Structure 1
Amino acid sequence: MLTDELCPHCAMTTTTKRAKKTKLGYATFFCPHCQRTFNERTGTPFNYLEFPTDIVLLAIVWRLRYKLSLRDIAEMFLARGFPFTHEAIRDWEARFAPLMADHLRARRRGQAGKSWHVDGTYLKVHGK
């Protein structure tokens, strides 16, 4: 079955989806041009992670959004069956938080207008 999946090695689009999945459940593909097999994460910053991408991103979002400690997050995921250490979360945050910020910044729409809504803070600019 031909797919539109781009081969990360030779950039050909004539790849075929294989029935076999990775250990984490990601689809695998075969490129007949360069004779290589790859998966959905090949060529991305998430390629060599031992855990699913969505779990890693969720741990980073919880860390940044809720200001939880590294050990608290590791303990919360351990209760859900994902045994990783607080050091792993620290490494993921250092690697992927800037990528997430760049992605969000690129998708931000609009610009700051004349009035801003700030919680309980008043600013005086040039006497106004």
Structure 2
Amino acid sequence: MGCVNCGSAKVTERRDRTAQGYRRFRCGACGRGFNERSSGVLNRAQYPSDVIALVVLWRLRYRLTLRDLAEMILIRGIVFNHEAVRDWEAKLAPVLTNSLRQRRYGKDGPGCRSWHVDEMGYPGPA
């Protein structure tokens, strides 16, 4: 893991962890501290990244309302406002769509953007 500030490889792991259990590091080159979540979109989020990702995926996949998602997670003991879901969706949706597009089209790019269906209903590349 490289430093998120200067990119140096002189990084040492500290013994203590953040309040949410993420590992902490210190850069030997610039002297700054960071954790394993520092370079991500959810750096300053109060909740664990896996919970946020799950909520956003449910929102996008199942078209649930903001209030329904907050209520579903409340049953599991995590309390947040429905407006938090909107903020998380605004931050994570572009990142998720980009990664899904890369998986779908491959690392080289879109390649084949259109598909044609023959008489039998079988798709094939254009």
Q: For structure 1, list consecutive stretches of 5 or more residues without a partner in the other structure.
A: 117-121, 123-128
Aligned residue in 1 for 2:33:
37
1:63 aligns with 2:59: yes
Alignment partners' CA distance in 2, 1:109 and 1:95: 23
Q: TM-score, normalised by structure 1?
A: 0.81
Deviations 1:69-115 (A, max 9, x none): 11111011111121111000011111211111011111213745543
Q: TM-score, normalised by structure 2?
A: 0.82
Aligned partner of 1:102: which letter? Answer: N
Deviations 1:35-63 (A, max 9, x none): 11100111221111111111111001111
- What is the percent sequence identity of the aligned residues? 44
Aligned residue in 2 for 1:87:
83
Aligned partner of 2:101: which letter? Answer: R
Alignment partners' CA distance in 1, 2:2 and 2:77: 33
Aligned partner of 2:13: which letter? Answer: K
Alignment partners' CA distance in 2, 1:42 and 1:67: 30
Q: How many correspondences in the alignment?
A: 113
Alignment RMSD:
1.7
Q: For structure 2, list consecutive stretches of 5 or more residues without a partner in the other structure.
A: 107-111, 122-126
Alignment partners' CA distance in 2, 1:55 and 1:103: 19
Which has the greater radius of gyration?
1
